[in-house]
């Protein structure tokens, strides 16, 4: 079942099993606010089990840097706006991973890593440096990223995802 993320009324729906559920919900709401403000797009998530192709793609991109997330994935989001595919995975330990893939040849392609307020840096991300950012919705977000090289195109948009916005 899909969940439309409301950044005005932050909810832990779908994230209850996380030890940092409130902070992770704030991080998810922060992403929803970004897409609403920048693109006028509604941010929708589904349980990770309903979108295994999205989770597999993000897992493939993380493997490019030898990152294997040990925590279970709780939710994913997949959307396309202005010629950019965005996939998000929210993990039980409080980690949020986003993959940005510009569909045009030679465009930006990167993976972002965000740590929820209150979580420790997972061992698998020990090689990354994290910058801090304050958020009214998420508290302190620690983030890092890496550029994706090579050809690793995203899967087709799932039936549950909103249609592409141009």
The answer to whether 27 touches 14, Cβ cutoff 8 Å, is no
Q: Using the 8-state DSSP alphabet, how is residue 105 labeled?
A: T
Q: Which two tokens stand for residue 34?
A: 């970004």
User: What pLDDT sits at residue 159?
Assistant: 67
Give the span between the Cα atoms of 129 and 11, in whole angstroms: 29
Q: What is the pTM of this model?
A: 0.93
pLDDT in tens, 64-110: 999 999 999 999 999 999 999 999 999 999 999 999 999 998 899 99
pLDDT in tens, 11-55: 999 999 999 999 999 999 999 999 999 999 999 999 999 999 999
Q: How many other CB atoms are found less than 10 A from the CB of residue 114? A: 24
Backbone angles phi, psi at 38, to 5 degrees: -75, -40
The answer to whether 57 touches 89, Cβ cutoff 8 Å, is no
The answer to whether 124 touches 116, Cβ cutoff 8 Å, is no
- Length of the chain equals 166
Q: Which two tokens stand for residue 153?
A: 């195109």
Give the span between the Cα atoms of 42 and 31, in whole angstroms: 10
Give the span between the Cα atoms of 60 and 58, in whole angstroms: 5
């Amino acid at each position: 079942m899909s969940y439309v993320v409301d950044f005005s009324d932050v909810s832990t729906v779908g994230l209850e099993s996380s030890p940092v559920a409130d902070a992770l919900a704030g991080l998810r709401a922060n992403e929803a606010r970004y897409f609403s403000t920048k693109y006028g797009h509604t941010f929708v998530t589904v349980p990770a089990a309903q979108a295994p192709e999205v989770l597999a793609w993000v897992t493939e991109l993380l493997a490019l840097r030898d990152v294997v997330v040990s925590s279970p994935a709780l939710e994913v989001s997949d959307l396309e706006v202005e010629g950019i595919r965005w996939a998000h995975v929210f993990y039980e330990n409080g980690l949020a991973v986003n993959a940005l893939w510009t569909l045009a040849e030679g465009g930006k392609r990167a993976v972002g890593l965000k740590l929820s307020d209150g979580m420790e840096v997972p061992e698998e991300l020990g090689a990354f440096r994290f910058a801090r950012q304050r958020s009214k919705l998420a508290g302190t977000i620690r983030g890092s990223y890496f550029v994706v090289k090579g050809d690793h195109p995203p899967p087709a948009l799932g039936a549950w995802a909103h249609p592409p916005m141009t």
